[in-house]
Amino acid sequence: MIVKRTDISNRLRKISELIVEQTEHGAQTKIIQKIKPNYYSLGQFLKELKRTQRGIHGSATALRVLADSDKNNLINGLTRYLEERKEIEEQITDNSEKIDESKLARDSQNTIKLSEILYSLKFVKAGSANTESLITNIAAKIKNSAIEGEAGWGYYLDKQSEVELLPSAFAILGLYVNGFKMERAVENIKIQLKSAEIDSPTKFAIVVFCLYALLNGVNELDKNRTEYQLILNRIWKSPYCSLKDLQEQNIEYWVDTHHDYVRIPWQFYLLAITSEISPEKFYTLSSQRLLSQIVCQDEFRYKYSGPYISTRTNAILYVTLSQIQENIRGSVWHRLLLFIDQIRSVIGSVAAKYILILLGLLAMAISVFRWLSSRKADLSELAPELLAGFIFGLIALGKKK
């Protein structure tokens, strides 16, 4: 069964409602509004109205969701908070609610966090908030901090020793959707994606996100389709590409003695990529079952990531589901692709393989017996051999994964 556009619409609506509720009524906003009455913020979790924790990941990614709504007061308030965050947070005097100044300083140099702000700002409508100066300032800060001849970025703009793939991909996505080009950095990512050894779950998740950033930032699909499809084929062939259950990848990084991390919900990104450039992989049982599992959750959370509903994860889910929804076409061809995959899955099952192998051996045995028993060769005696060959052909068509 192909997941329907209406099913996705319902999931998008629920995510938006959760984010609106937390933004408007959460304790993290009430703390900020003691300093700035019309400002808003978001933290790590949704449906946690008593939590005062707040930060860039939650606020920036939630802004992308709210940008599609008519909640202009929330959109403007979140935008202003992100723009003036350091100054606002420094005015909070309650030590139990105060964010450490060193963390504020690190956040202001964090490539991934700044890039997420930049990406979300692109989708804020002109009548909702003034974003021009903030986009210009963040884009200039990121562009001017590129290293190794503008080949990319590290995790922190002020402390970079080498180009890292993940922060570079986030930077490219944020810059390119806003019209700022960094061609050398893009070429560097492409080169690494073609040659990089996918030897760990971390590397796998990074490669998936890099392709997503290229496809949705740089785009130019007509020009790059073959290149993107080759990278996607490498991803699907990886032993780390499992769609049997819901997975994300936690990626840790350090600056000085301080530890930080970012979670990559790579399955969301992979389904979004695949829906756009590889229908034959998207309209398969494994892809559709995973998508159905994601869409049908009333409140999305990862089983192994705790009981709370992540703001950032659900905001990313909102974005990727929106992209998937645009690519879904309930055509006869796509239904046929799914039907063929269902047949291949049945044929490729262990039980079916053994049955087909036994039938093939039996057919060959009959063929040999008839040939030995016959005094005169006849073309009809070849029929069982052809049948055996056909059966083994079916076995070969069975899905490997």
User: What's the rounded Cα separation, in Å, for the pair 132 and 203?
Assistant: 35
Q: How many angstroms separate the Cα of 142 from the Cα of each of 79, 289, 327, 330?
A: 18, 39, 31, 41
Give the rounded distance of the alpha carbon of 336 from its chain centre. Answer: 26
For residue range 9-20, list pLDDT tens digits in order: 999 999 999 999
Assess contact for 187 and 194: CB atoms under 8 A: no
Find the mean pLDDT for residues 285-302: 92
Tokens 């570079």 appear where? 168
Assess contact for 296 and 284: CB atoms under 8 A: no
For residue range 31-63, list pLDDT tens digits in order: 999 999 999 999 999 999 999 999 999 999 999
Q: According to the 3-state scheme, what is the secondary structure of 73-90?
A: HHHHHHHHHHHHHHHHHH
Assess contact for 338 and 283: CB atoms under 8 A: yes
Strands (E), 34-178: 45-46
For residue range 248-268, list pLDDT tens digits in order: 999 999 888 888 999 999 999
Q: Could you give the angle at the alpha carbon of 388 between the alpha carbons of 382 and 391, nearest 5°? A: 140
* Count of CB atoms situated within 10 Å of the CB of 84: 14
Q: What three-state secondary structure class fits 251?
A: strand
Taking the model in full, what pTM does it have? 0.85
For residue range 275-284, list pLDDT tens digits in order: 999 999 998 8
User: Would you give the end-to-end CA distance of the chain in angstroms?
Assistant: 19
